[in-house]
Structure 1
């Protein structure tokens, strides 16, 4: 699948360890506080398709489940941004119960403490669960780090660069199973 990215296609900044897990298909769920819009139709991410933008600055080993901590690493390409995969949103759930949010711990990389901290961030008790179909890029897209790509923002516009996405890291049957488990945990 070749993508000629229109200006509206962006990259979502997320911890490098989480980007690795998504790209490898080990997880398909992200828990986010920011980068979500509330519309009359419900909750939507600002972009339905986006590239994963690994970040290294704020990764916190204490907030990553122990089995995923070996993925923590220093930036392997300082001065460059290496985008590994295209993500497509399959489902978005606003989770307004801390108990329900904590039940999602086995489906993603954050610890219970990190989930709770994000849930209560800025005194707004909720979090979004994003189920993603992730397609590793045939060749990761490498961009020079520029001031417009940096900063504490969720979304970064990428201009007119193109990338070729490969086969999904998790097949449709596996993703369907993960979606069923997500919905079961949210309604338990």
Structure 2
């Protein structure tokens, strides 16, 4: 598989949870500097870019609190894993978005805040196959990487990713659970 040339910024705690196989689902809205239409799934393969900016412990479910930490290397980015999108849903009903809360790291209230952010009522749910890198890729954080954006171009890089943290059967089980919850949750 070719190395990705893009990284997706996500709170460090969520990047860790994905890299450890504790979750496989992200609920995304996008940053304040996103395009007019907001976050879009522009890439199907990318590196996880852990960010500490705006990470809010109160918006994480309690079981993920042990993963909270200070930035281990300020001024550098430690990219821990390769992620591949294996499922994506644009969720346009808040009740459906909240029904996914226990499948990922955010609290239901945090999902609601993201859902309503900027008066655009929707979020994306991304099911990811995550493969930790054999060693984290460490890059200097440049001014072009800063800001509230989701996607960060990295240029040409080479990474060595290991086996997925969750097997195909587990990911398929999570996909089936997501689809069942989205289908059976009545809109408000």
TM over 0.5: yes
Tell me the equivalent position of 1:149.
145
Please show how residues 23-38 of structure 1 align to structure 2 within 5 Å. Answer: 23-34=19-30
Aligned mate of 2:88, from 92, 102, 108: 92
Is the partner of 2:73 in helix, strand or coil? coil
Distance 1:44 1:61, change over 3 A: closer
Alignment pair present for 1:53 and 2:53 = no
1:101-123 deviations in Å (ceiling 9; x for gaps): 11100100000110000000001
Tell me the equivalent position of 1:124.
120
Of Structure 1 and Structure 2, the greater strand share is in: 1
How many residues were matched structurally? 179
* Unaligned stretches of 5+ residues in structure 1: 38-42
Distance 1:139 1:173, change over 3 A: same
Aligned mate of 1:173, from 163, 169, 173: 169
Cα distance in 2 between the residues matched to 1:99 and 1:161: 40
Is the partner of 2:159 in helix, strand or coil? strand
1:49-80 deviations in Å (ceiling 9; x for gaps): 00000000110011000111121110001111
Distance 1:105 1:156, change over 3 A: same
* Unaligned stretches of 5+ residues in structure 2: none
Cα distance in 2 between the residues matched to 1:95 and 1:73: 30
Cα distance in 2 between the residues matched to 1:68 and 1:97: 26
Structure 1 residue runs of 4+, over 6 Å off? none
RMSD: 1.7
1:84-132 deviations in Å (ceiling 9; x for gaps): 0000001110111111111100100000110000000001111110000
Shift of 1:150: 1.3
What's the TM-score, normalizing by structure 2?
0.91
Alignment pair present for 1:187 and 2:183 = yes
